[in-house]
A = this chain, B = another copy of it.
Amino acid sequence: MANALVVVAQGIEEMETVIIYDLLIRAGIEVTLASVTGRQVEASRGLKMVANVDLNQVIDEAFDIIICPGGLPGAEYLRDNALLKNLLINQHNQQKWLAAICASPAVVLAHHGILDNSQATGYPSSEEQIPNYIDEDVVVDGHVITSKGPGTAMVFALKIIQLLMGEVQAKEVAATALIKM
């Protein structure tokens, strides 16, 4: 069974977080929502969500993918967490899946040098902070998957499902959730 770590914080974008969480669970992926700012977080528009764990509880576990939703100041809290920085860099060095959307490709991945040699996308206003910016809804380069924002969160999640679980599973999830691909 594939497993995913979705990292959250105060000020994370709630719509992106929940779209990713929900669709991956529908695909049969084991999803752990881990917070770097305490179990209950108040997301970017005020929604209160409760994470499954604090990040420090899962730093010794292996995840097939680590996913950073966007939102501000959420992405900055992700960027500034030393445990998460180590997890992301280890995952990157092992060439295992990493994904980020909206503010996080620039604020988290590019900040840690993870996008130095990858094509990537992100929220349009972050174009100059992303070394090799591509203007597409979802960009996959090697083991790094990036996307633009709330409106592309569904196709981003479906791309992750396709890469981890296969095309058939991605299409089935899209059909059941009535998402046009």
Contact = CB atoms under 8 A, between A and B. Distances in A.
Copies in the complex: 2
A14 interface: yes
A159 interface: no
A87 B85 CA distance: 49
Interface in A14-50: 14-15, 17-19, 21-23, 25-26, 33, 40, 45-50
A82 interface: no
A41 to B, nearest CB: 10
Interface residues of A, number: 32
A48 B50 contact: yes
Interface string A149-163: 111101000000000
A1 interface: no
A168 interface: no
